[in-house]
Structure 1
């Protein structure tokens, strides 16, 4: 055990005597040497694979051997609940060597933060990217003093950051941290299996330019990486995967009340509304049930998760909030209603099971019918089988950062000016040397152009070479001490729901508006003002619109649950998996119930005309194969079909010229409506189109340089959903959204 023997002797003692471990797991063994040598690393293992210890034990050894003092380790997580969940474990490990742990996020009191800065400064600080930047910006925190001793940053669930704008934000904040403290900070990322581990490591290190000056490696012993040619659906460690088909959510509740009784079951559903619906149905059937979704208060979620961890015969119904590594104890079963959008998400959920010796990983998928009367009511079952087809051949999505993050670059210029009082417009590139956010190949322009725009629009004022927060930025972002400037994600307007002084959670303003409309129509002063939240029904007593607070009391009347949602989005590999299933494939290692098998026969009959064994796309004119509109079926995934809508919807009126040697209608007239929703399976086209005309248009589109292709249509109203869009020209914000629709 060369890794174990290289740890500090105190840690060796406690691993054996306190934890009772005979040694380290392979990932933990293999991580010791590179991490104690201060190398960067990406640690890969399934959920509950020991990643936390693989990262923390070598770092604690360094802390003792090198005699670190002050806040020397930052442990960053995407969720506050995950930080709270990890605190006790890391506090135990730190205590072995006489070191302390602190937690800093939005729910931590100001008095606790003051103590951490003065009398109780921790050695390990658990935080989120937003709270880290808040420390760097706050006038109440001397961040160069408080964070000046940081040696290592550990990023949990790093894939959850790297795939969206929070990743760009985190990368930029880490670069600013290194610039502020004046030395390189070791970066350690942890993740479940991903499709592109080497690229993810490079992203973690700050991009190709920064990574070239750093040492790092992917550590994943025993993990079958994508492309290895090994099917996860076969072999002695293959999980138990079953698929059933039921009629509605009440049947799901009935099945769960009778299936796996005496076991602990985690049920994933696709929306907060369905969490509430299924939770109520299970409660009515006498099942001990707990709920978890993002609109519940932190206290309410913690209560559910703690109670669930202590129970042995119960169900917890959740959205993706429990997909990440929050510890909810030993789990017996995972049930998935519908299909997750990615194979990666499925693997996260599957990894919740099989943690106890003698148990195996398992997942029961349940498909429900849609409301369609055309014959395609089993869309959900097809989505499930398509996902499992992609999984069975070893596919996992690569984690890729969103393109053209110009809005995050603008946010960083403003945040840096806010943090330091001003930035030097001559030397600003040094601040972000440790990230590729500001690189021209990422932004597709020189970042100086973003800085110049901020100055021109008054977001930044200038004095010589110094740029500082301007009046326009004060007006747009200055509320609540610029808090809206420090978060890279958006949410719809929310109302807090209070029962007395108890915080139940939040609901969106669209729900309140619909309840008010019902109230106005009833004329009795109360109307339909009952909502469902946290698995209970609440009558609304009063709505304070100024403070955005809803005061409620318990009700026995069924309430309404509503949150915004978007249509299903699947990538190319999963869409092609659906196509293979229609053509007759049965995914390896997947068991279908009789109900699912009968429904699959109907799927192949209904969708059969949309696939071909000789070509990837099929043109179905209106009226053919019971289709009421002309469609181009390519099963190419949502992103590619957004591109096709832009290509087929292009016309001379939109400024695109006829290509040399092309027919006049190639770019001269629209072949499809631009305002249709992007789907993963098909594109709606005009009735008088022909297969040859569509193929010619697509050939024209694909032959264009990438920066010359028509972009998907984006409504002007949509820019409000892009955080920090106010710092950019409207046409730039719409371009960013359009480019991201193509992913």
Structure 2
């Protein structure tokens, strides 16, 4: 299919969108997607760097299909790992759909109830959500699943690599299969990722339980160049963080940049010290923080400032800005300390140079001087960082994703979820319902029998006179709690308030007059309410 043929095959308003955005051409991935989504109806894995048009490649033909052959329900289910990513993509997709009859709806904890109710009354268009929101829907109101997805055509999984190889990703596969059983429809799956090391494994993950073959299509802009620098600083303990922060401050002056750290605490310390240096040097305060412990409002303000500001800005972050949230073009990415994974490094470097096609990443490493010994003075973080740079930029090597073979903890979760969804079940029916899910292929009938026996002994389940298995009072409490829908365990946190405005959360209680960093500032504790897990600060 030629570029012109692909363009002509798209629906009129998408052609208008391409024209208004002044795209010079469709890239090869977008052209190939039109043919394979609209004609071949295959599961597809889109692999391309950040800002290479993966989302558009998947959405444009899928939207064209539901416009030409309207669905009787939601036509496209768009699954994302983060609510912030959903909100960011919502604006982009809404702009593409402007002036059309195709609706797009966000469905997560912070989304407007009125919009959800409108969708339930008149299901259609695109639904954006997270795995946890889908699990809640299945457990609480399975009839909504029939209403919303009875004629589902496509499932788009954004940031596919983020789900692979962990319990959350396996939970997502189980959820998709449970939805397929309820509505008796198998939609086409489209996966999006910038960092896939094992294409074969990713295709197997994408297609698990769908009965469809999957194929990968990608795009690489050969014009893109990479500039990598490494600065290693040997410090005495007393020199941290001042000497270290000074180098990062000087590196970031006059630039639009992200500062990635490996922990929230380090992020807070570095930005607080760098801001202090900037004020002392007479520089404007253009320093922000963005991580999971910061309140939603502050994170959104940071995203808006990054996107709208034309001047220099430095935002300290962890994982939250590693994914594809649109924050405008960046001059550089700065990595404090050795990155945890090569795939994470690749995601981060891809955040810079969207317009210039030159991605810049600067590594700032630190090593504390030892009193004696060659090995003690060897900077292993420097050695590992250089190895990671060589492995990717010379050999294009990424870590292999390992998928858990016998996820018994997920099995316990899904047994509770299935009984919550369907009610009491006879053991053979329960075994058939659960073990037929593709994620449990490595689990035997005997394994399930032992798990059920343990769940009964632990009072999660109870057995009725006719032999059916149902939820006990304890099991019902577990299934009704908000934390049940996520298979990952959340840490205990305390909410931090300043003048009754939420700043964020911390992971422990603080005494009155204690001080701590949060949102790039230093706060003094006025009081701590242990019962309500609230800390007031000034």
Structure 2 residue 311 is matched with structure 1 residue 319? no
Is contact 1:175–1:431 with CA below 8 Å preserved after alignment?
no
**What TM-score, normalized by structure 1, do the two folds share?**
0.66
Q: Does the CA-based 8 Å contact 2:407-2:440 persist in structure 1?
A: no
User: Aligned partners of 1:322 and 1:371: how far apart in 2?
Assistant: 33
Note closer, same or farther for the CA distance 1:268–1:373 as it changes in structure 2 (3 Å cut).
farther
- Structure 2 distance, partners of 1:200, 1:116, is 32
Matching residue of 1:399: 401
Figure out how many residues of one structure are paired with residues of the other and give that number: 518
Matching residue of 2:47: 44
- Looking at structure 1, the residues matched to 408 and 141 of structure 2 have their Cα atoms a distance apart, in angstroms, of 27
C-alpha deviations, 1:90-118, integer Å up to 9, x for none? 11223354201111112224444334323
Match of 2:530 in 1: 545
Partner-residue secondary structure (3-state), 2:92:
helix
**CA offsets 1:551-571 (integer angstroms, 9 cap, x no match):** 122xxxxxxxxxxxxxxxxxx
Residue of structure 2 equivalent to 1:218: 216
C-alpha displacement of 1:325: 0.8
Deviation (angstroms), 1:424: 4.5
User: Structure 2 length normalisation: TM-score?
Assistant: 0.90
Could you tell me whether the CA contact under 8 Å between 1:437 and 1:443 is conserved in 2? no
Q: Distance in 2 between matches of 1:361 and 1:136?
A: 43
SS of equivalent to 2:428: coil
CA distance in structure 1 between the aligned counterparts of 2:426 and 2:100, rounded to whole angstroms: 43
Asked if 1:308 is matched to 2:306, the reply is yes
| SS of residue matched to 2:320 | helix
Question: What is the DSSP-based 3-state SS (H/G/I as helix, E as strand, rest coil) of the residue aligned with 2:440?
Answer: coil
Cα distance in 2 for partners of 1:39, 1:271 equals: 40
Corresponding residue for residue 376 of structure 1 = 377
Change (3 A) 1:221 1:533: closer
Matched, 1:240 2:243: no
Match of 1:531 among 516, 520, 532: 516
Query: How far, CA to CA, are the matches of 2:436 and 2:98 in structure 1?
Result: 33
Q: CA 1:79 to 1:395, structure 2 compared with 1: closer, same or farther past 3 Å? A: same
What is the CA–CA distance in structure 2 between the aligned matches of 1:251 and 1:443, rounded to whole Å? 58
CA 1:437–1:451: 2 relative to 1, 3 Å = farther
Match of 1:171?
Answer: 173
Q: Does the 8 Å contact 1:175/1:434 carry over to 2?
A: no
Equivalent residue for 2:282? none
Q: Name the CA shift for 1:147/1:452 in 2 (closer, same or farther; >3 Å).
A: farther
Q: 1:450 matched to which residue of 2?
A: 451
Cα distance in 1 for residues equivalent to 2:21 and 2:102: 18
Query: Distance between the aligned counterparts of 2:21 and 2:30, measured in 1?
Result: 14
1:685-725 Cα deviation digits (max 9, x unpaired):
xxxxxxxxxxxxxxxxxxxxxxxxxxxxxxxxxxxxxxxxx
Higher strand fraction (1 or 2): 2
Residues 90 and 423 of structure 1: CA distance in aligned 2, closer, same or farther (over 3 Å): farther
Change (3 A) 1:196 1:140: closer
C-alpha displacement of 1:397: 1.1
The 3-state SS of whatever aligns with 1:426 is helix
Q: 2:89 aligns with which of 76, 86, 91?
A: 86
Contact 1:179–1:430 (Cα < 8 Å) also in 2: no
User: What is the CA deviation profile of residues 540-591 of structure 1, one whole-angstrom value per residue up to 9, with x for unaligned ones?
Assistant: 12211111111122xxxxxxxxxxxxxxxxxxxxxxxxxxxxxxxxxxxxxx
Partners of 2:449 and 2:370 in 1: how far apart?
A: 52
Counterpart Cα distance in 1 of 2:190 and 2:125: 17
The answer for the alignment partner of 1:338 in structure 2 is 337
Distance in 2 between residues matched to 1:431 and 1:151, nearest whole Å: 24
Match of 2:485 in 1: 486
Question: Is the CA contact (8 Å cut-off) linking 1:344 and 1:397 kept in structure 2?
Answer: yes
Larger relative contact order (C-alpha < 8 A, sep ≥ 6)?
A: 2
SS at match of 1:339: coil
Q: Deviation per CA, 1:2-54: give whole Å up to 9, x if none.
A: 56246333145214322221331121111112222331111100111111101
Q: Is the 8 A contact 1:196 1:398 kept in 2?
A: yes
Does the 8 Å CA contact 2:414/2:434 hold for their aligned counterparts? Answer: no
Alpha carbons 2:105, 2:115 under 8 Å: kept: no
**Structure 2: how far apart are the matches of 1:49 and 1:69?**
32
5+ long unaligned stretches in structure 1: 224-234, 517-525, 554-743
- Deviation, 1:326, is 0.9
Report the aligned-residue RMSD: 2.4
The structure-2 alpha-carbon separation of the partners of 1:163 and 1:482, relative to structure 1 and needing over 3 Å to count, comes to same
CA distance in 2, matches of 1:142, 1:493: 32
- Give SS of 2:438's match: coil
Change (3 A) 1:485 1:260: closer
Alpha-carbon distance in 2 for matches of 1:175, 1:219: 24
1:24 aligns with 26
SS at match of 1:142: helix
1:693 aligned partner: none
SS at match of 1:404: coil
Equivalent in the alignment of 1:283: 275
Out of 259, 269, 283, which is 2:251 matched to?
A: 259
User: Does the C-alpha gap of structure 1 residues 445 and 276 become closer, same or farther in structure 2, counting only changes over 3 Å?
Assistant: farther
Q: Which has the greater radius of gyration?
A: 1
On the 8 A contact 2:80/2:130 being kept in 1, the answer is yes
- Which residues of 2 match residues 622-701 of structure 1 at below 5 A? none
Counterparts of 2:139 and 2:8, CA distance in 1: 39
Which stretch shows the higher mean deviation, 19-28 or 55-64? 19-28
Other-structure match for 1:33: 35
- Alpha-carbon spacing, 1:16–1:139, altered in 2? closer, same or farther (3 Å): closer
Partners of 2:186 and 2:142 lie apart in 1 by 25
Equivalent residue, structure 1, for 2:117: 114
In structure 2, which of residues 188, 191, 196 is the aligned counterpart of residue 189 of structure 1? Answer: 191
Cα deviation code 1:481-526 (max 9, x no counterpart): 23222111112210111112311110002xx2xx43xxxxxxxxx4
Contact map agreement 1:240 1:362 (CA 8 A) in 2: yes
Contact 1:334 1:353 in 2 (8 A): yes
Contact 1:167–1:401 (8 Å) recurs in 2: no
Contact conserved, 2:245 with 2:273, CA < 8 A, in 1? yes
Classify 1:196/1:6 alpha carbon distance in 2 versus 1 (closer, same or farther; 3 Å).
farther
**Distance apart, 1:276 and its partner CA:** 0.8
Please say if residues 540 and 552 of structure 1, whose CA atoms lie closer than 8 Å, have aligned partners that are also in contact: yes
For the residue of structure 2 that corresponds to 1:437, the secondary structure is helix
- Say which is worse superposed, 391-400 or 366-375, in terms of deviation: 366-375
Q: Provide, for residues 153-192 of structure 1, a one-character-per-residue CA deviation record: whole Å limited to 9, x for no partner.
A: 1010011011211011111111101111111122111111
Kept in 2, the 8 Å contact 1:27–1:219? The answer is: yes
- Evaluate the alpha carbon distance shift between residue 334 and residue 442 of structure 1 in structure 2; reply closer, same or farther with a 3 A threshold: farther
- Partners of 1:277 and 1:428 lie apart in 2 by 51
Partner of 1:501: 500
- Distance of aligned partners of 1:538 and 1:260 in 2 relative to their CA distance in 1, 3 Å threshold: closer
Per-residue deviation, 1:380: 2.2
